[in-house]
C-alpha cells in the first residue's frame, strides 16, 4: 500500500466506505411478501377498540392459467388506533404486508360521518408505503362489505373496482375520482371542500353502483350529492368528456348528448360587500334521443332550450352549495389568490360573503346535429 500513488489509495478507501454503506440497504425476497390490494377502514362495535381495519390481499399464484378466477384472502382486526390494528394483523401472516401496490382506500360511511378524517389522514400520510396517488372513496353501508364483494365477471389479478376510477374503463360523468393527495390537500386548505365517490352494492349483490358522492368539510355534517348533482359537479370542475342532459322546454323532450364540456369560473370582487361568482360553460354535442322527429333547421331553437335548461340546473347546484355553506369548486381559493394576505377577509367573513354572492352563470350551447339519419 505504501508504494501506491495517493490517488489510488483514495479511490480504494472510497470504494471500501461505499461498500459498507450499501450493505445497510434492506431487501426482502418477493416470496416473503404479500401484496395488499385494498384497505377498508370502518367503525367497530368495540368501544375500547373503535377502529376496524380490513385488508384485501392478493393470493400468490404461479401463472394466470392456474388462477382463471380472482383469488383473495382477507385480514381484519379492531384497534384502539389504526396503527395498532395493522400491527396486530402483521402477526397473522408469515409474510410482510406490502401496501405499496394498494390502489384503493375505502372509508366506511359511519366513520366519515363521525368526522374522523383528521385521524384517518394522519395514519395514511405517515406510512411511507401507502401511495399518495391511491384512490379514496366512501363505502356504503361499510367499507368491509365493499372490498369483500367480488362481482360477476371479475378477472384475476385486477379487481373490477379499479376500472371505475382509472379512466381506462368506464367514463361516465357520475363517477368522481379522488386521489389521496387531493383529499388531503382539500381537507387542509381553506377555500375548497372535498368530494369523495360513494360505492354501493346493488340489491342482487352482483355489481357495484358508483353514481353518488359525499361532500366533506371540516367540522360540518357531510352532504350527499345525488347522481345529477354529482354529474354537474364533474362538468363544472373536471370538464368531463361525456354527459347527457334531459331537456324539457316548450313542448320538446330530448336528450342532449354532450361530448365536450368547457367551464371557467372565478370570483369578481366589486367591493368587500359585493362579490360575484362568474361561471362560463360551453356545451357541444348532438341530440341522442327525442320523443318526436327533430329537424336540422330548428337547431337554433334546440340550442336555446339547452341553454335555458342547463343554466337552471347549473345555477340551482351553485345556489344549493352556497345555501349549505359548501365550496366544492374552490371559489375561496380564487378569492385568496386575488387579494393580498393582509387585506383578506377571515374564513368566517369569506363564508358569509360567499353565501350572499351573486351568481353570474352563462352557458354557450353547441348542438351540432339532431343525430338523425337523413
* pLDDT tens, residue by residue, 229-279: 999 999 998 767 788 888 887 778 888 889 889 999 999 987 767 899 999
Instruction: Please name every residue paired with 358 in a beta bridge, in sequence order, or none if there are none.
Output: 276
For residue 50, tell me if it sits in a domain: yes
**Final residue before a domain boundary, out of 171, 192, 225:** 225
Residue 23 resides in a domain? no
Do 252 and 311 lie in a common domain? yes
Give the tens place of pLDDT for each residue, 39-69: 999 999 998 999 999 999 988 766 666 666 7
257/183 same-domain check:
no
pLDDT at 373: 59
Adjacency order of strands within the sheet including 252-271: 243-249, 252-271, 274-290, 358-369
pLDDT score, position 251: 78
Q: Are residues 38 and 87 in the same domain?
A: yes
Q: What is the pLDDT of residue 151?
A: 86
* One domain for residues 324 and 289: yes
On whether the CB atoms of residues 231 and 173 are closer than 8 A, the answer is yes
d(CA 215, CA 20) in angstroms, rounded, equals 52
Query: Range with the lowest mean pLDDT among 159-173, 189-203, 297-311?
Result: 159-173
136-143 average pLDDT score? 94
Q: Give the number of domains in the chain.
A: 2
| Local structure of residue 167 (DSSP, 8 states) | S
Most confident of the following: 5-14, 275-284, 364-373:
275-284
Spatial CA neighbour of 104 closest among 157, 153, 155, 166: 166
Cα–Cα distance measured from residue 126 to residue 14, given in angstroms and rounded to the nearest whole number: 35
Same domain, 201 and 260: no
Regarding whether 274 and 174 lie in a shared domain, the answer is no
> Same domain for 206 and 355?
no
The parent domain of residue 293 ranges over: 239-373
Q: Distance from first CA to last CA of the chain, Å, rounded? A: 93
pTM: 0.86
Q: What is the mean pLDDT of residues 212-226?
A: 92
Same domain, 34 and 153: yes
Nearest CA-CA partner of 149 in 134, 170, 164, 133: 164
> Is position 172 within any domain?
yes
The β-bridge partners of 283 are: 261, 365
* CATH code of the domain covering residue 327: 3.30.300.210
Cell of 125: 400520510
Residue 17 lies in a domain: no
User: What's residue 18's pLDDT?
Assistant: 60
Output the CA torsion 127→200→319→247 (10° steps).
140
CA 220 to chain centre: 19
Which cell goes with 126?
405517515
Q: Do residues 291 and 158 touch, judged by C-beta distance below 8 A?
A: no
Judgement on whether residues 281 and 208 belong to the same structural domain of the protein: no
Give the residue ranges of DSSP H helices in 97-208.
109-113, 117-126, 143-148, 180-188
- Domain identity same for 36 and 154: yes
Going along 160-251, which residue ranges are E strands? Answer: 194-201, 208-216, 223-225, 243-249
The answer to the question of residue 48 being in a domain is yes
CA separation for the pair 38, 158 (Å, rounded): 11
Residue 234 lies in a domain: no
71: exposed, middle or buried (Cβ count in 10 Å: 0-12, 13-18, 19+): middle
**Distance from C-alpha of 311 to C-alpha of 306, rounded to nearest angstrom:** 8
Amino acid at each position: 500500500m505504501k508504494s501506491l500513488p495517493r490517488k489510488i489509495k483514495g479511490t480504494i478507501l472510497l470504494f471500501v466506505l461505499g461498500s459498507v454503506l450499501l450493505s445497510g440497504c434492506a431487501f426482502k425476497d418477493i416470496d416473503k411478501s404479500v401484496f395488499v390490494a385494498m384497505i377498508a377502514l370502518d367503525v367497530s362495535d368495540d368501544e375500547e377498540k373503535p377502529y376496524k381495519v380490513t385488508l384485501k390481499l392478493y393470493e400468490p399464484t404461479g401463472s394466470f392459467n392456474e388462477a382463471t378466477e380472482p383469488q383473495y384472502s382477507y385480514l381484519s382486526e379492531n384497534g384502539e388506533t389504526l396503527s395498532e390494528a395493522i400491527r396486530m394483523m402483521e402477526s397473522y401472516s408469515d409474510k410482510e404486508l406490502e401496501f405499496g401496490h394498494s390502489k384503493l382506500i375505502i372509508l366506511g360511511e359511519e366513520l366519515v360521518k363521525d368526522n374522523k378524517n383528521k385521524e384517518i389522514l394522519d395514519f395514511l400520510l405517515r406510512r411511507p408505503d401507502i401511495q399518495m396517488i391511491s384512490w379514496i372513496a366512501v363505502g356504503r353501508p361499510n367499507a368491509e362489505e365493499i372490498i369483500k364483494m367480488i362481482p360477476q365477471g371479475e378477472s384475476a389479478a385486477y379487481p373490477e373496482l379499479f376500472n371505475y376510477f382509472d379512466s381506462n374503463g368506464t367514463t361516465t360523468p357520475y363517477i368522481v375520482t379522488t386521489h389521496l393527495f387531493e383529499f388531503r390537500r382539500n381537507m387542509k386548505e381553506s377555500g375548497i371542500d372535498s368530494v369523495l365517490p360513494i360505492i354501493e352494492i346493488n340489491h342482487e349483490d352482483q355489481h357495484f353502483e358508483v353514481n353518488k358522492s359525499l361532500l366533506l368539510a371540516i367540522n360540518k355534517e357531510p352532504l350527499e350529492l345525488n347522481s345529477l348533482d354529482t354529474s354537474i359537479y364533474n362538468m363544472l370542475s373536471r370538464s368531463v368528456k361525456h354527459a347527457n342532459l334531459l331537456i324539457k322546454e316548450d313542448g320538446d323532450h330530448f336528450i342532449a348528448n354532450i361530448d365536450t364540456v368547457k367551464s371557467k369560473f372565478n370570483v369578481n370582487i366589486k367591493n368587500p360587500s359585493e362579490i360575484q361568482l362568474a361561471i362560463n360553460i360551453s356545451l357541444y354535442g348532438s341530440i341522442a334521443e327525442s320523443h318526436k322527429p327533430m329537424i336540422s333547421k330548428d337547431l337554433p331553437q334546440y340550442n336555446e332550450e339547452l341553454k335555458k335548461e342547463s343554466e337552471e340546473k347549473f345555477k340551482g347546484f351553485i345556489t344549493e352549495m352556497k345555501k349549505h355553506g359548501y365550496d366544492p369548486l374552490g371559489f375561496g381559493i380564487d378569492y385568496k389568490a386575488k387579494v393580498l394576505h393582509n387585506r383578506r377577509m377571515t374564513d368566517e367573513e369569506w363564508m358569509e360573503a360567499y353565501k350572499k354572492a351573486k351568481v353570474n352563470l352563462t352557458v354557450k350551447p353547441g348542438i351540432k346535429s339532431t343525430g338523425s339519419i337523413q
